[in-house]
């Protein structure tokens, strides 16, 4: 229940903010009522029966997919916030393009001219960031802050000048800041779709180059790859998706489509190809669902709802993602703890039998196991129960336990790996035999096959006649208690 609260708070908070923002668009400040849709309206939106709904949903879906696709590479390149600086850097270009078109006798509302000005200004912002990072001893985060604040301040100043001009009509320029998704035209949707196809095709063609650039740029440079040119191409694609998205969600919210879907996709997979596809899918779904919700409740601005839906997808991915999600990591940690406890109890039974003569070979008492380590009787019982369920240990009388045939093999492997690692630490790390058991116990449970093969080779070189090395220290009860409490 507690894990659901952040999601509910985000959704309710986003709806509340959106309802406030929507008041200035269609009603007065005192009219704060929201008309909730019925089932008929919901069906019309889901089936895309309305022309405007089809245009908006399909247009923003293409935008979200393109932004998620290139945003995945940006996130892995550790330049996620570059989109934020870029989106803010487009504002002065829009204002200056408006002024230039008015000076030449136009109305200043020619969209290709405004987008051209935004592109030029955005490219200049990116070049300024790259120039500051390459020529001065300033890190990228500081350069991003400088360019973002300066260009956005310049854009606000230019917009103020435009609004005070005697000619032209600058009211529509505010849509580039906050977006106007609900009033998207077919030409806007076609433009977004064409740009999205171009960006997707470029990412697919340069997938191998972008992958190497994101994971090991130094190696790519050493192999003679044009790293700077690839960076410029990637930035150009980001500029393109940012510029075409200005009218849909605005420059303030455009950064969300570049960062949130890729960040959410990382919780679902560890493979780059799947991550890129998942990021594009989450971006498209966020935009289409957000636009659909805005169509159901007209007083909710579509740009803000799109970002809220993307944030909801991120929270779901963070908790339920099978690769890096909270639940998956908790389950993996729980399985590791159980595996470690099971290996420890198997090794303890093996060493008790190995170090003592007894009437019943292979059977040990519960008290003997408790004395092997600094674990509580409850922890020993839980480990025994886990081993019994796995058919590795079988009860042998009252408070007595013995290894099964399968358990003997598992216990032998656990003891052998532990002593191989002890041998390695003593030979190569100069660790005293009296302390090596504790250090080996920390890493023996996560040894891979390659490391075990390396340790076996070391055993063959140093002890060619042994299959399992002898313990380099005493393994009786007194030593274990003294070692664990040290």
CATH of the domain at 459: 1.10.10.10
Residues 209 and 340 in one domain: no
Residue 452, pLDDT score:
67
Q: How confident is the model at residue 367 (pLDDT cuts 50, 70, 90)?
A: confident
Q: Are residues 358 and 240 in the same domain?
A: no
Is 269 within the bounds of a domain? no
Last residue of a domain, one of 243, 259, 275: 259
- Sheet strands side by side (includes 393-395): 363-365, 400-403, 393-395
Task: Tell whether the model's pLDDT for residue 430 goes beyond 80.
Answer: no
pLDDT digits (tens, 9 = 90+) for 258-272: 899 999 999 999 898
Residue 318 domain-assigned? no
Residues 252 and 347 in one domain: no
Q: With beta carbons less than 8 A apart as the criterion, state whether 328 and 275 touch.
A: no
CA distances from 149 to 86, 88, 109, 142, 153 (A): 11, 8, 26, 11, 6
Residues 241 and 349 reside in one and the same domain: no
User: Is the same domain home to 254 and 334?
Assistant: no
Domain end: 259, 275, 300, which one?
259
Q: How confident is the model at residue 221 (pLDDT cuts 50, 70, 90)?
A: confident
Domain count, the chain: 2
Mean pLDDT, range 171-197, rounded to an integer: 75
The answer to whether residue 107 is domain-embedded is yes
- Write out pLDDT tens, residues 19-48: 434 443 444 434 455 566 677 777 777 777
| Rg for the chain, CA atoms, rounded | 32
Instruction: Point out which residues pair with 403 in neighbouring strands.
Output: 393
Given 240, 259, 278, which residue is the final one in a domain?
A: 259
In a domain, 20, yes or no: no
Q: Assess whether 334 and 255 both reside in one domain.
A: no
Q: Give the C-alpha distances (Å, rounded to integers) separating 74 from 30, 187, 257, 470.
A: 43, 28, 12, 53
The number of beta carbons lying within 10 Å of the beta carbon of residue 470 is 11
- Judged on CB neighbours under 10 Å (0-12, 13-18, 19+), 434 is middle
Distance of alpha carbon 408 from alpha carbon 430, whole angstroms: 31
Name which of 29-33, 163-167, 310-314 the model is least confident about.
Answer: 29-33
Gap between the Cα atoms of 110 and 101, Å rounded = 8
Question: What percentage of the chain exceeds 90 in pLDDT?
Answer: 9
Question: Does the residue 61 lie in any domain?
Answer: yes
Q: Are residues 65 and 196 in the same domain?
A: yes
Lowest-pLDDT range of 161-170, 397-406, 460-469: 460-469
Is 459 a domain residue?
A: yes
In a domain, 115, yes or no: yes
Nearest one of 254, 374, 231, 368 to 306, comparing CA atoms: 254
CATH at 227: 1.10.3470.10
Residue 322 lies in a domain: no
- Which is nearest to 462 in space by CA: 419, 422, 418, 423? 423
d(CA 254, CA 66): 12
Residue 248 belongs to what domain range? 47-259
């Amino acid at each position: 229940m507690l894990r659901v609260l952040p999601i509910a708070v985000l959704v309710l908070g986003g709806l509340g903010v959106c309802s406030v923002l929507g008041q200035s668009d269609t009603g007065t400040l005192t009219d704060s009522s929201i008309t909730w849709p019925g089932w008929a309206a919901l069906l019309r939106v889901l089936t895309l029966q309305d022309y405007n709904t089809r245009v908006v949903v399909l247009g923003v879906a293409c935008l979200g997919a393109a932004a998620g696709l290139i945003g995945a590479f940006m996130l892995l390149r550790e330049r996620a916030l570059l989109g934020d600086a870029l989106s803010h850097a487009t504002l002065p270009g829009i204002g200056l393009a408006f002024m230039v078109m008015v000076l030449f006798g136009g109305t200043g509302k020619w969209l290709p001219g405004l987008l051209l000005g935004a592109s030029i200004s955005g490219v200049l912002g990116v070049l300024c960031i790259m120039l500051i990072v390459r020529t001065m001893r300033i890190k990228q985060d500081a350069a991003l802050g400088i360019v973002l604040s300066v260009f956005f301040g310049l854009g606000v100043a230019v917009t103020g000048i435009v609004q005070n001009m005697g000619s032209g009509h600058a009211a529509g320029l505010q849509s580039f800041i906050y977006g106007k998704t609900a009033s998207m035209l077919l030409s806007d949707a076609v433009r977004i779709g064409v740009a999205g196809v171009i960006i997707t095709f470029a990412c697919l063609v340069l997938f191998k180059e972008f992958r190497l650039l994101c994971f090991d740029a130094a190696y790519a440079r050493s192999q003679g790859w044009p790293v700077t040119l690839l960076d410029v191409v990637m930035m150009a694609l980001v500029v393109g998706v940012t510029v075409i998205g200005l009218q849909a969600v605005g420059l303030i919210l455009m950064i969300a489509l570049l960062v949130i879907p890729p960040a959410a996709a990382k919780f679902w997979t560890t493979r780059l190809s799947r991550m890129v596809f998942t990021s594009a899918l989450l971006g498209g779904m966020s935009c289409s669902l957000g636009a659909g919700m805005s169509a159901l409740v007209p007083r909710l601005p579509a740009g803000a709802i799109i970002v809220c839906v993307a944030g909801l997808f991120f929270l779901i991915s963070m908790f339920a993602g099978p690769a890096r999600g909270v639940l998956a990591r908790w389950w993996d940690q729980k399985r590791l703890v159980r595996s470690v406890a099971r290996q420890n109890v198997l090794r303890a039974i093996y060493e008790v039998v190995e170090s003592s003569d007894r009437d019943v070979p292979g059977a040990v008492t519960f008290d003997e196991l408790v004395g092997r380590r600094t674990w509580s009787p409850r922890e020993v019982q839980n480990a025994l129960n886990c081993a019994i369920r796995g058919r590795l240990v079988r009860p042998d009388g009252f408070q007595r336990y013995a290894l099964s045939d399968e358990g003997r093999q598992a216990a032998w492997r656990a003891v052998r790996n532990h002593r191989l690692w002890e041998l390695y630490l003593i030979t190569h790390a100069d660790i005293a035999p009296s302390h090596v058991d504790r250090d080996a116990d920390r890493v023996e449970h996560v040894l891979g096959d390659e490391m075990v093969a390396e340790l076996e080779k070391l055993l063959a070189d140093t002890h060619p006649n042994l299959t399992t090395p002898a313990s380099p220290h005493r393994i009786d009860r007194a030593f274990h208690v003294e070692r664990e409490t040290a």
